[in-house]
Amino acid sequence: DAKTTQPPSMDCAEGRAANLPCNHSTISGNEYVYWYRQIHSQGPQYIIHGLKNNETNEMASLIITEDRKSSTLILPHATLRDTAVYYCIVRVTGYSTLTFGKGTMLLVSP
């Protein structure tokens, strides 16, 4: 699986948009970009995934650059409950295994 690079931490004010970047410059054509988050002491939670088009669901939006070498997860109106570690994962299709990096610790403050 392609390696991902994320900033170790980010801050965001409550109510503002949180934009979490991820670099995956060695991504190959059959690899999807997945985002999970882990709130303290809980299991990771699936957020969103995409291949090359931008995706949106009730939790977040995923913007993937045209060359697919990077992506951004957007939480449009961050709340205190969005404080968590966010993991960007690039996964080979056909396998279920997730390879987690260190992720980004997002702290949402009042």
Partner 1 sequence: KAGVTQTPRYLIKTRGQQVTLSCSPISGHRSVSWYQQTPGQGLQFLFEYFSETQRNKGNFPGRFSGRQFSNSRSEMNVSTLELGDSALYLCASSLVAGGLLNEQFFGPGTRLTVL
Whole-angstrom distance, CA of residue 46 vs CA of residue 43? 10
Nearer to partner 1, 53 or 96 (CB): 96
Phi-psi region of 41 (alpha: psi -120 to 50; beta: other; left: phi over 0): left
Which residues contact partner 1 by CB under 8 A?
Answer: 32, 34, 41-46, 49, 87, 93-102
The least distance separating partner 1 from the CB of residue 101, rounded to whole angstroms, comes to 7
Closest CA to 22 of 98, 88, 109: 88
Q: Which is nearer to partner 1, 58 or 110 (CB)?
A: 58
What is the nearest approach in angstroms of partner 1 to the Cβ of residue 103?
Answer: 8
Least gap, CB of 97 to partner 1 (angstroms): 5
